[in-house]
């Protein structure tokens, strides 16, 4: 009986896999990796082809664009889109991962004014060269940097070209600073927070991050993950946007 049920479930999976195509906008909760979200939805809806168009760190929330079925064929169009983020960085400390999930590596006294913070942010506008953080999924010689970092290794990384269109300071309540950022693909917001802390001379790390826009898609269009997981299949399929929306 158990074997028969397994065969039946496998057959249903085969029939359903690949039958759904489109773009799914998810409002990613904190503590979930982008891979976790993909894996959960793949299992829940028996979708064979599913991927994301730009990762979010576990501590980050907000818009995660998923591509389903034939939608995976246009992943490059999503990953190449500009992004907008809202977040908070914390002054006075540095961490090994450049965000609050890392280990504190240094503590400094904060002696900077609001005007100095705003002026410093303006210096990052335009074309920039960023060095990817060790705790990142970027691969060097086939290995993700974060795996090397967990082994206590730090290797030289080549700087990557990115562009900052807007980096505005929204609120300062020391040691925290709220910001809004518009940037090109490949921008590490954690690195931006770290680099800004270095220029200010007091250190900084990314405390909070929310992606609010990718290309023309906004977080207001996105579905909470728990809502998607509780839907019936017909409702779920109606949540998908047509692939042509990105083209």
CB 179 within 8 A of CB 89: yes
Q: Is 36 a catalytic residue?
A: no
Measured distance CA(138)–CA(120) in Å, rounded: 27
Tokens representing 219 are 């977080």
Contact predicate 99/87, CB 8 Å: no
Buried b (16+ CB within 10 A) or exposed e, 126-143: eebebebbbbbebeeeee
Active-site annotation holder among 36, 57, 127, 166: 57
CA atoms within 13 A on the CB side of 150: 7
The CA distance from 194 to 201, in Å, is 11
Catalytic residues: 57
């Amino acid at each position: 009986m158990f074997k028969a049920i397994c065969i039946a479930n496998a057959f249903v999976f085969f029939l359903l896999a690949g039958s759904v195509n489109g773009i799914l906008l998810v409002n990613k909760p904190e503590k979930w990796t982008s891979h976790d979200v993909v894996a959960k939805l793949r299992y829940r809806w028996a979708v064979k082809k599913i991927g994301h168009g730009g990762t979010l760190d576990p501590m980050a929330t907000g818009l995660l664009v998923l591509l389903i079925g034939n939608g995976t064929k246009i992943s490059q169009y999503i990953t190449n889109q500009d992004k907008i983020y809202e977040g908070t960085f914390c002054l006075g400390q540095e961490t090994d991962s450049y965000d609050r999930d890392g280990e504190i590596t240094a503590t400094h006294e904060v002696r900077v004014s609001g005007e100095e913070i705003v002026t410093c942010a303006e210096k990052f506008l335009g074309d920039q060269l960023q060095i990817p953080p060790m705790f990142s999924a970027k691969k060097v010689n086939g290995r993700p940097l974060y795996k090397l970092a967990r082994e206590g290794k730090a290797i030289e990384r080549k700087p990557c070209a990115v562009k900052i269109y807007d980096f505005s300071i929204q609120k300062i309540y020391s040691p925290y600073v709220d910001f809004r950022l518009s940037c090109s693909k490949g921008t590490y917001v954690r690195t931006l927070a770290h680099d800004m802390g270095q220029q200010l001379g007091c250190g900084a790390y990314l405390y909070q991050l929310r992606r609010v826009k990718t290309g023309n898609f906004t977080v207001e269009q996105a579905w909470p993950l728990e809502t998607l997981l509780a839907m019936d299949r017909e409702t779920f399929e109606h949540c998908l946007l047509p692939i042509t929306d990105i083209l």
